[in-house]
Amino acid sequence: MGDRIEPFTVEVSQDELDGLRVRLQNARWPDEAPGDGWTRGVPLARLRGLAEHWQSGYDWRAQEDRLNAFPQFTTRIDGQRIHFLHVRSPRPDAKPLLITHGYPSSVAEFLHLIDLLTEPEPPDGQAFHVIAPSLPGYAFSTPLSGPGWAMGRTAAAWVELMRRLGYERYGLHGGDVGAGVSGTVAGLDGARVIGVHVVTDPLTAANVATFMPGMADRLDAADPVDKAILDRMDAFRREGSGYLAIQNSRPQTIGYGLVDSPLLLLAWIAEKVHEWTDLPVDDDQLLTNVSLYWFTRCGMTTAHTLYEQAHSTDWGPPASVPQGFAVFGADETVRRIIPAPAGTHWSEFPRGKHFPAMEAPAELAADLRTFFGPLT
């Protein structure tokens, strides 16, 4: 295949759609769990409502058309099929921007963001040519070619992708896994990268701190800010890390259920969207993301990539390009965890959390324009 880039169109067969509806119609439902609200997982009423909408109200064909309104392509890099959106701005001053999603997400996360970047308001704002790949093992970047697809290898594939597209200078943006990949690309390809912009929130920062060697020892429980960080880290270990522990240790086992059961897949993703958001996410956008996982059977392969990252030591060289941080749901804890050097772009937003491209796309787009506008 060489460097060949081929056009791609999302085309889910009617048999696949009918099969999903039959599975949802014949789902076996448990009794409501004891306890209140979300304390033990997704409440029965919430999941029933989502499943019923997925079965009879949600219009996949309309969402398929929405995805196909963006030019899409595939190419093969390092033996792996890579799917990506490549949406060029009509503006002659547009800058290339490579945006990377995280877990449990997909390019559907960016449906409300892309137009704001390619054709910005106000019209004199910085515009972008948007390149949005599906991470290896996610959605249409499947099947997974084999082991080893942690962030370092993915970042090297992104460098090659931008070379194939002919971009000499480009910016980077990401959140969650996408933030790590973006930072690694900046370290690998600093001569071409103009800057890297990432999003975070207090919960995500505390979760990352849980895995940072010695972080807990550097915090003083007598300090109110440090205590808030320690409490979040402890809560994540006790209450929020089960999904990650399973995938980091037994991805194959949980993968059978994620590929075979639409209810498990829906609950698995809907729980994280609920826990990691502060502003409402449209149910149709949530279901488009879940549908991409379902139709491509990528629940298992995404779990395997999380396993690979948990067992990887390949973080690549540090980045030396301009860096920007956008903190959603901001409080004083994030600055303590991420001691950004002087001159770093730092924006704080009171609302939103882990998925600002879905929760607050206008605010995120504006911050991207502010950060990348003066960079060349």
Q: Which residues are catalytic?
A: 176, 307, 354
What b-and-e string marks burial along 75-108, b requiring 16 or more CB atoms within 10 Å of the CB? Answer: bbbeebbbbbbbbebebeebbbbbbbbbbbbbbb
Distance CA 154, CA 293 (A): 19
Residue whose entry in the numeric block shows the structure tokens 């948990």: 310
* Beta carbons within 8 Å of 48's beta carbon, 6+ residues apart: 29
Distance CA 26, CA 21 (A): 9
User: 80 forms bridges with which residues in the sheet?
Assistant: 77
Cα 316 to Cα 15, 307, 312, distances in angstroms: 44, 18, 11
Distance CA 10, CA 279 (A): 29
Q: Hey, what's the torsion of the CAs at 203, 205, 206, 212, to 10 degrees?
A: 150
Cβ atoms of 185 and 193 within 8 Å: the answer is yes
Distance CA 171, CA 152 (A): 18
